[in-house]
Every structure is written in structure tokens, then in C-alpha cells.
Copies of this chain bind each other. A is one copy, B any other.
Amino acid sequence: MSSKPLDYENLNKNVKECQYAVRGELYLRASELQKEGKKIIFTNVGNPHALGQKPLTFPRQVIALCQAPFLLDDPNVGLVFPADAIARAKHLLSMTSGGLGAYSDSRGIPGVRKEVAEFIERRDGYPSDPELIFLTDGASKGVMQILNAIIRGEGDGVLVPVPQYPLYSATISLLGGTLVPYYLEETANWGLDVNNLRQSVAQARYKGITVRAMVIINPGNPTGQCLSEANLKDVIKFCYQENLVLLGDEVYQQNIYQDERPFISARKVLMDMGPPINKELQLVSFHTVSKGYWGECGQRGGYFEMTNIPPKSVEEIYKVASIALSPNVPGQIFMGLMVNPPKPGDISYERYVRESKAVLESLRKRAHIMTDGFNSCRNVVCNFTEGAMYSFPQIRLPPKAIEAAKKAGKVPDVFYCLKLLEATGISTVPGSGFGQKEGVFHLRTTILPAEEDMPAIMASFKKFNDEFMEQYEDHKGYSRM
């Protein structure tokens, strides 16, 4: 029997080659163990509600009413919904053409895009054009749309931080492009050094790669650093000099756990720099309802904003978006609510503020508990999570552990993380899934387990790590970079 078109050997090779570790070997093993009845703590993916975070009440009230518009005329509706949620649902439904069950324009509901533009203007102090804002099914889909427009073949390169969120490596691979890595400096709190960038571009060009775009993730995933204004300026200048599109992944902009470096958008820095660069540099910025204190991952709402992209290109991106008709409309409504939350004086204002503050303050505490927990292990070093939702400790593995991993046919950090999973139920992602320097090992975990569970989880980690070291350490030393 000859082999068939959907047999493994006949699949598109880009499909086979792409890797997405966040739901890779570790996740699959964790899912198996869960099926067998083991208690698993899924910290592999930034999925707050899965770990017990409660949704904010006001947006859920509004979306429930939008889904059940017949309630708006029900005399009893006021018994279960506050008046401002009812008013907001009416307002949002009036922006749709047929409610949540109708496809919207493929760029998203015009009224919501306008509210996004107003949010950006309030945030940055510069006007934003709704025609250059497209709503998406989460930020990931937006990143994929833009990379698809950029990448023409394997000769096209995209600068990506290492360590990086593997959405980028996977998508570049799927689209048949080339990832051009630039290394973040762990000892400099995962800082970005423009000299490294220059070197990466020079090396890629030497290999015949046309470098066309640069990705920054700010705050960093998996690394948690917040970029300073000076750093962002350097990056922007660099992209301008090198004729690169800057892709600003800013999905964690609400997740900040220190006061020294507040979030500042790439767009604001660019606008502050004035002409000619503010009229020239091509920038696409991404945001989502999945992160922040919302954590509404399952709703798949996001947007991207284009700066200095010519109208003809915007049209092409619009055309491609239209093939799948429209992003999901409930997700668009969430985005509308996120950029325009209750205001002082609104009935739901106090509750909204109380709920969102509670989430953020708890995340800040958890960031500290986790960093401190990791740093209390003598073979682990971990930068503080300044922002985002992750801890990315470096684990110094003894040579005997590396040898044992080799024997088991595993990358050393995969070996370590699998042992951790089996021993404790903590499902992490090995550093190799994000990229790391040769011979250095990490893991990524979210800071999302409930605050009250956190001490026990860190104790369980420490106990595992101690036993692991006991087993593999030859009491002479351990590998480090």
C-alpha cells in the first residue's frame, strides 16, 4: 500500500519542524498523569483562571447580558444585574450589526476599535487611528497574521530574543522563515544590549539572511524584565538604522510588580522621539484580554495596532484577515470592556477597582515568594519577576545529572523538569523550549498558583531539588556558565 497524503512522512515539513514547548513533552506527560489521577499544578502556561483566579465581575455581567439580549427587557433583570452593566451591554450591542451571533467586519467592530484607539491615546498621550487597529482572536493570532505578511521564505529573518516565548520560534518555523536570535543578559537582569543585536544581524547577513523584523517582549516572557525608556529608544534607533519592522509584544503591560520601571509602550517612546523617526519606523504593537488582571485567556480577545504601515499593506492584511471572516465577537466585547472599564461614580467602579487591585497585589506578593523560594536553593539563581507572569530560574545541574539525562535520551533540563513533575505534580516548561545559552539550564513556571498554596509549592520544589541534588551531586561541584 502506497503511503497516503496525510501520513506523517508526507506532511508539510514546516508543520513537522515547528516546536511549541509550552504544550510540548512536559505538558503531554502532565496530562497523562492527570488522567491517571495524579494532582497536577499546571504552571506551564499563563492561564490564571485555571489556577483559581476569579473573573472580574463587571465584564462578565456585561458579556452575559450581551449573550442574552432578551434579558434587557426582562422586568426582573435589575434583580441580578447592576444598572451600569445593563447600560453598557446596550451600548456594546448597539455597536454590533446583529449582536454576538453575527460576524463583524474582519478587522473587528468599528466602535470597539475606536475605544481601543482612545485607550491608547489616554495611555501614551498621542492620538491613535482606529483604522490601523485590528481586533484578533487573542494576541497570538495577530502575531501570526503579521509574521505571515512579513516572511516570504527561508531567506527572511526575524530577530527574536533568547530566551523567547516560543510562539515566535514556532510561527517563524511554520511560515518557513529563519529565526535570528539575540541573547538577553541574565546577569544584567535579562537586559537587552544593542551590541548583541548588531552582532546577531551581522552574523545573519553573513549567512545571506535578509533580516526584516525584530520582536521585543515587554515585559519579558519568560524572563519577566521591564524594558527602560532608554533601552526602548536604543531598540527603536537600531530598527530604524537597520530597516526593520519592530514587533512590540506588550501583552503583559498591566502586569508590573515593581515601581522603578513602569510599563512604557514602544509607540510612546517612538512618538516622543519626534521626526523623522516617528513618521518612518514601522511598528506593530500587540495586546490581549488574556493577561493583566483580567486573565480571560479562554475568551481569545486581542488587538494589534499598526504605526507607519502604508495603506496598501494595511489593505492586504485586512484581506487575509477576511478569509476567516471575523475574530470571535464575544472576545471583541471583552476588549471593548478592558480598554474602557468602569469609571469613578459608576455603580460598579468600586468593586472593579477592588477586584483588580486584589489580583495585582497578590501577583506581586507571589512574584516575591517564588523568586525568594528559588533563590533559597543553593544551585538555583533567579532574577526577580519585574513584570509578566513567569519565574525563570537558572538550575545548575551537576555533571552526573547531565550524564543521566544523556543516558535517558533527554535534554538535561527536560530530564530535570520531568523528574520534578513526577515527584511533585508541578508542570513547568524546560528552558530549552525558550532558548538559553549553551550549557546553562532553566525552567519556566508561572507565578499563578493561589497565594495560599504558594509556600507549600515552593517547599515541595525545594524538597525535590534537594533530593535531586543529593542523588546526582558528586559533592565536588556543579556545572555553571
- Residues of A near any B CB (own CB < 8 A): 1-2, 4-8, 10-13, 15-16, 18-20, 22-24, 31, 42, 45, 47-52, 55, 57, 60-61, 63-65, 67-71, 74, 76-77, 79-80, 96-106, 137-138, 140-141, 144, 148-152, 167, 170-171, 174, 212-213, 243-245, 280, 282, 284, 290, 294-300, 308-310, 312-313, 316-317, 319-320, 322-331
Nearest Cβ in chain B — how far from A226, in angstroms?
24
Q: What are the 7 A-B residue pairs with the smallest beta carbon separation, nearest first?
A: A298-B329, A50-B98, A49-B98, A64-B68, A49-B101, A23-B322, A300-B328
Q: A6-B284, A101-B299 are in contact. List 4 more A-B contacts (CB 8 A).
A: A7-B313, A60-B67, A60-B70, A64-B67
**Which residues of chain B are within 8 angstroms of A106 by Cβ–Cβ distance?**
23
Nearest Cβ in chain B — how far from A191, in angstroms?
26
Residue in B20, B60, B298, B331 whose beta carbon sits within 8 Å of that of A319 in the complex: B20
27 example contacts (A-B, Cβ-Cβ < 8 A) are as follows A4-B280, A4-B308, A6-B282, A6-B309, A6-B310, A6-B313, A11-B150, A11-B152, A15-B149, A15-B319, A16-B316, A22-B322, A45-B103, A47-B103, A50-B103, A55-B99, A63-B67, A74-B80, A99-B298, A103-B297, A104-B298, A140-B323, A140-B324, A170-B323, A299-B329, A300-B329, A328-B330
**Which residues of chain B are within 8 angstroms of A309 by Cβ–Cβ distance?**
6
Residue in B49, B64, B149 whose beta carbon sits within 8 Å of that of A102 in the complex: B49
- Are B103 and A8 in contact, CB atoms less than 8 angstroms apart? no
**Which residues of chain B are within 8 angstroms of A320 by Cβ–Cβ distance?**
15, 18, 174
Chain B residue nearest in CB terms to A320 = B15
A440–B6 CA distance with the chains assembled, in angstroms: 36
- Are B70 and A323 in contact, CB atoms less than 8 angstroms apart? no
Highest count of chain B CB atoms <10 Å: which of A19, A103, A331: A103
- Number of identical protomers: 2
- Are B50 and A297 in contact, CB atoms less than 8 angstroms apart? no
**Which residues of chain B are within 8 angstroms of A329 by Cβ–Cβ distance?**
298-300
A63-B67, A243-B2, A319-B18 known; A328 and B331 CB under 8 Å? yes
